[in-house]
Amino acid sequence: MTAATDADAIRRRTQDLLAAHPPATTGRAEFLRARFDAGLAWVHYPAGLGGLGAPRSLQAVADAELAAAGAPDNDPRRIGIGLGMAAPTILGYGTDEQKQRFLRPLWLGEEVWCQLFSEPGAGSDLAALGTRAVRDGDDWVVDGQKVWTSSAHVARWAILIARTDPGLPKHRGISYFVCDMTDPGVEVRPLRQITGEAEFNEVFLTGVRIPDSHRLGPVGEGWKVAQTTLMNERVSIGGARIPREGGMIGTVAKTWREHPGLRTHDLHQRLLTLWVEAEVARLTGERLRQQLVAGQPGPEGSGMKLAFARLNQEISGLEVELLGDEGLLYGDWTMRRPEIVDFTGRDAGYRYLRSKGNSIEGGTSEVLLNIVAERVLGLPAEPRNDKDVAWKDLAR
């Protein structure tokens, strides 16, 4: 198959897909499978893996044609961890067999993914993780605990980093695996949040066996592989494409227009300031996506995620103030186990509470500030006395 490398070729291919599989008469699963096989899932991926080897920017051409025709999507919010984190890591470090096995059901939404990275004693300092993976023949036996794991309660697979050599410094003794969440040694427990629901989980791993064929990258180079995941994670959290006045700022602007009696000069000025900052962040995100066309995401994604967290918290706080007493209402305090985070379909009280987690998930704001300072601005790095010390000798 010849790679389609221009907009007209992508448009023709999309029209051919729609003609052969009309969305009005084709089942959702059948249409998505046909789209993947046509190379229109993610056009920048290689042929045979849902793509065409085309520039990433041409995905927007296919998406626009499909949306105009009323074609179904793959429910990207439900499978965001797979799409935004697992898939680019598998593409970058997986074997041909791993790519063929995992990428198609991942994109189709047939298999949900989660991320087993953070630990109770190694959150911000992720490289200090203590979950162990010990080689046993053709398998690795994993024991440990992970925390703040979104979607673990519905996930089929997990991307996992574990310590394979405690005698090396913390960044050099880690390996990266694909973990089967149906293994009998995997236990998922809900973590109830300030919102009342349990979107996150803690995961206990006891004698979990992972075949060596499910390792991504060389043994001991898991930290390098994890950087691909983390950089893509921050772009997927903070750099999502939204229209002008979309997202949280659109919600509070709508509230402002619908409640003229609650307006004050101070609230008006704050809304204008946040509106401008949200628009700057949106346009910066567009620039970042243009940079992605030329390669993998870099540390700039950390800056986008920082802005996303701060703006969400400030905008949701403004909305609560704007609504006055009504802003304190929170109508759903049930112990739900949601598959996705829905900021726009809930009340202001939920948005205010849930946004507090934005500065923790996907990398704490404090750590991201260090990344921006050192890797974007070129400022001197903070002293790290444990850099060359074996992990087993570190104080814990």
Report, as residue numbers or ranges, the catalytic residues.
Answer: 233
* Single-letter code of the amino acid located at 188: V
Q: Supply the DSSP symbol for 53.
A: S
| DSSP output for 203-235 | EEEEEEEEEGGGEESSTTBHHHHHHHHHHHHHH
Which of 112, 36, 114, 111 lies closest to 72 in space, CA to CA? Answer: 36
Q: Which two tokens stand for residue 147?
A: 């925390």
| DSSP output for 128-164 | G---EEEEETTEEEEEEEE-S-TTTTT-SEEEEEEES
Residue whose pair of structure tokens reads 């085309």 in the numeric block: 54
* Single-letter code of the amino acid located at 97: E
Q: Which two tokens stand for residue 311?
A: 């703006």
Q: Supply the DSSP symbol for 84.
A: I
Q: Over 161-211, what HEC string results?
A: EEECCCCCECCCCEEEEEEECCCCCEEEEEECCCCCCCCEEEEEEEEEEEE
CA distance 88 to 101: 14
